[in-house]
Amino acid sequence: MFKQIKVLIIEDEKDIAHIVRDYLSVNNFEAIIAETGKEGIHIAETTNPSFIILDLTLPDYDGIELCRQIREKSDIPILILSARGSDTDKVIGLGFGAGDYMTKPFSLSELVA
């Protein structure tokens, strides 16, 4: 039996989160949305996702700090998906444990790849 890969999307922009979730679902991923950093940490700890897509601008957390906290407890791959596109933001995000960094706007097919 085929087991779907579980992806946690930590994104406070509902439209983006739902578009990403729906596109992942069509491509045979199970996607869960967290709209806050606190909710994201809870879901990450209780559902054991295979992958995390993380926005840096959240209402209750700085995404870099959230990335660091997740990385302290887990080696789950993290992709930062952010409107922040400076080289400094990318270097900091990757330095705190993200495996990759994509800037908004983004290609859904590239995201799935």
CATH of residue 54: 3.40.50.2300
Range of the domain at 38: 5-112
**Is residue 4 very low, low, confident or very high in pLDDT (cuts 50, 70, 90)?**
confident
* pLDDT at res. 12: 94
* Residue 61 confidence (pLDDT) above 80: yes
**Is residue 84 very low, low, confident or very high in pLDDT (cuts 50, 70, 90)?**
confident
29 with 54: CB under 8 angstroms?
no
Least confident of 50-64, 67-81, 82-96: 82-96
CA 1 to chain centroid, in Å, comes to 27
How many structural domains comprise the chain?
Answer: 1
C-alpha separations of 57 from 26, 83, 84 in Å: 26, 8, 9
* pLDDT at res. 2: 60
Could you give the percent of the chain with pLDDT greater than 70? 97
**What is the pTM for the complete model shown?**
0.92
* Residue 3 confidence (pLDDT) above 90: no
